[in-house]
Structure 1
Amino acid sequence: MNVNWRAIPQANNTLAVLSAACEVHGYHIEVTDRPRPDVTIYSLNSINERLYRDEIAGADCITIAGGPHPSACYREAAQYADYVVVGEGEYTLPALLSALEEGKEPPPGVATAAGYIPARHTVLLDGYPPFSRITGFIEITRGCPFSCGYCQTPRLFGRCMRHRSVDEIARYSSRYRDIRFVTPNAFAYGSDGIHLRLDRVERLLRSLNGRIYFGTFPGEVRPECVSRQSINLILDTCANTRLHFGAQSGSDAVLRRLHRGHTVDDVIRAVDLCRENGLVPVVDFILGLPFESDDDQRATLDLVKLVTRAGTAHIHYFMPLPGTPLQNNPPRSLLPETKKVLGKLALSGRITGSWMDHEIRFFRHTSHL
């Protein structure tokens, strides 16, 4: 049986992970620029899904869809794809390929137009390689204990953090000169995500050889985790001169409604610590949140201006993602003064992202993944 992967730039790391998992079970995946027999696999998010929906529906082969959007909207996706892998795919995808080869019913964790039975497993990261023939970033942690209203991560991967072992991370990182990681919070490695274990972070970092980039995209940190101790780990063991973390709002009221789990003061403290120690802060913000008042938006703009005195702000315009608590809440408009200030900051190179077009922001930010 020929198994193909539809090339989509924003899913390159997912390709590396699932290609390696399929190899473990004896399936070799070929990358293609269009659907091909016998099976073609798609990994989609909520921005690019509409670009491939008709192609999948009209494909002259068996189609499998997975990724954040099909996982959250599996009933909808099962109307145009033959099979939908919901959630984690390392175990489910090879099991589905085996079922197709043997003419059996799909395993739990796969939705079809006929229905869906949830998966009965959770992936142990050490049970599967982070990559094999097709290389990618090394995922060191999966899951997030927080429940931010806009975020799909805890809904896809759960709120219990799972970590790849130091030995396995060191083994695969030896293939790189520059080492980068996938994680929802780099400083939470080895912990429950709330009570940090920086001793375990230090053990990990000191076990690696090469130029380590830790706490940068695609493995950022949370602002309340930025401390003198955590920054010293970066300075002592890593090559990065930037630290990337999310503020999301300059209003404590908004942060509470988002269930972010940190305050504006945590963000300011993290920015100050970066500046005092020679690290450039790169800070994410979301504008246009549905319950954001004019004053809340102005407070966020003030925090953006504070950040850009020491570093860079990355601006997102709120997009309601399926499967999240805010999925049915459209974004609010930006104030004229907000657009004016953001325009000036963009021209001076102090902010990145897009606050008008989701696709521009998404494709620019992820084109290298």
Structure 2
Amino acid sequence: MNVNWRAIPQANNTLAALSAACEGYGYHLEVTGEPHPDVTIYSINSINERMYRDEITGADCITIVGGPHASACYREVAEYADYVIVGEGEYTLPALLSAIEEGRDPPPGVATAAGYTPARHTVLLDGHPPFTQIKGFVEITRGCPFSCGYCQTPRLFGRCMRHRSIDEIVRYASRYRDIRFVTPNAFAYGSDGVHLRLDKVERLLRSLDGRVYFGTFPGEVRPECISRQSVELVLDHCANTRLHFGAQSGSDAVLHRLHRGHTVEDVIRAFDLCREQGLVPIVDFILGLPFESDDDQRATLDLVKLVTRGGKAHIHYFMPLPGTPLANSRPRPLLVEAEKVLGKLALDGRITGSWMDHEIRFFRRTSHL
């Protein structure tokens, strides 16, 4: 049986992980630019789904679709795809391919037009290599204990953090000269995500041989996790001169309603620590949140201006994502003054991102089928 992977740039890391998982069961994923028989696999997010829907509908082959959008909207996607993988794919995808090849019903974790039975397993990272022949970033942690209203991560991977062991991380990181990790919060490695174990982070960093980039995309950190001790770990063991973390809002009221789990003071403290220690802070913000008042938006602008005096801000306009608590919310318009401030900061090269176009935000992210 020929098994093809539809090349989609935003899913390159997913390709690396699932190609490795399928190899262990004797399936080779052939990367293609269009659907081919016998089976073609897609991993889509909520932005690019519309780009591939017609192609999947008209494909002259068996189609399997996964990714964050498919997981959140599996009933909708099952109307035009043959099979939909809901959630993690390392175990489910090879099991589905085997079922197709042998003419059996799909395993749990796969939705079809006929129905859906949830998966009965959780992926242990050490049980599956992050990549083999097709290289990708090394995923060191999966899951997030927080429940930010806009975020799909805890809904896709759960709120219990699962970590790859140091030995396995070192094994795959050794294939890179410049080492970068996938994680929802780099400083949470080895912990439950709330009570940090920086001793385990230090042990990991000491074990690596190469130029390590830690706390930068695609493995940023949270502001309340930035302390003198965590910053010193980066300075002592890593090559990056920047630290990337999310503020999201300059209003404590908004942060509370988002269930972010930190305060504006935490953001300012993290910013100051980075500057004092010589690291450039790169800070994420979301504007246009549905419950954001004019004063809340102005407070966020004030924090953006503070950050850009000694670092960089990365700005996004709120987009409701399926499967999240804010899925049915409507973004509120930006104030005219906000557009002017952001425009000037952008012209000065002090902010990046997009507060007008959702696609720029989501096309830079990876997903897991």
Q: Is the TM-score greater than 0.5?
A: yes
Which amino acid in structure 1 is aligned with residue 33 of structure 2? D
1:222 paired to 2:237: no
Deviations 1:92-122 (A, max 9, x none): 0000000000000000000000000000000
**TM-score (norm: length of structure 2):** 0.99
- Kindly tell me the number of residue pairs found equivalent between the two proteins: 367
- Alignment partner, residue 275 of structure 1: 275
1:74 paired to 2:74: yes
How far apart in 2 are the matches of 1:322 and 1:361?
Answer: 16
SS in 1 for 2:135: coil
SS in 2 for 1:4: strand
Which amino acid in structure 1 is aligned with residue 232 of structure 2? N
Shift of 1:359: 1.5
Deviations 1:209-241 (A, max 9, x none): 000000000000000000000000000000000
Higher relative contact order (CA 8 A, sep 6+): 2
SS in 2 for 1:199: helix
- Alignment partner, residue 147 of structure 2: 147
- Alignment partner, residue 194 of structure 1: 194
- Alignment partner, residue 4 of structure 1: 4
Which amino acid in structure 2 is aligned with residue 2 of structure 1? N
How far apart in 2 are the matches of 1:309 and 1:209?
Answer: 35
- Alignment partner, residue 30 of structure 1: 30
**TM-score (norm: length of structure 1):** 0.99
Alignment of 1:91-110 (within 5 A): 91-110=91-110
Alignment of 1:107-256 (within 5 A): 107-256=107-256
Deviations 1:29-80 (A, max 9, x none): 0000000000000000000000000000000000000000000000000001
Which amino acid in structure 2 is aligned with residue 255 of structure 1? L
How far apart in 1 are the matches of 2:223 and 2:168?
Answer: 28
How far apart in 1 are the matches of 2:273 and 2:299?
Answer: 21
SS in 2 for 1:309: coil
- Alignment partner, residue 359 of structure 2: 359
Shift of 1:261: 0.1
Which amino acid in structure 2 is aligned with residue 72 of structure 1? A
Which amino acid in structure 1 is aligned with residue 324 of structure 2? T
Which amino acid in structure 2 is aligned with residue 197 of structure 1? R
How far apart in 1 are the matches of 2:111 and 2:148?
Answer: 26
How far apart in 2 are the matches of 1:57 and 1:33?
Answer: 16
How far apart in 1 are the matches of 2:350 and 2:206?
Answer: 33
How far apart in 2 are the matches of 1:259 and 1:51?
Answer: 32
- Alignment partner, residue 330 of structure 2: 330
SS in 1 for 2:13: helix
Alignment of 1:290-309 (within 5 A): 290-309=290-309
SS in 1 for 2:212: strand
SS in 2 for 1:79: coil
How far apart in 1 are the matches of 2:255 and 2:365?
Answer: 25
SS in 1 for 2:308: helix
SS in 2 for 1:305: helix
SS in 1 for 2:219: coil
Which amino acid in structure 2 is aligned with residue 257 of structure 1? R
Q: Percent identity at matched positions?
A: 85
SS in 1 for 2:184: coil
Shift of 1:361: 3.5
Write out the 4+ residue segments of structure 1 that deviate beyond 4 Å after TM superposition.
none
SS in 2 for 1:144: coil
How far apart in 1 are the matches of 2:261 and 2:23?
Answer: 39
How far apart in 1 are the matches of 2:362 and 2:116?
Answer: 30
Shift of 1:360: 3.2
Shift of 1:366: 4.4
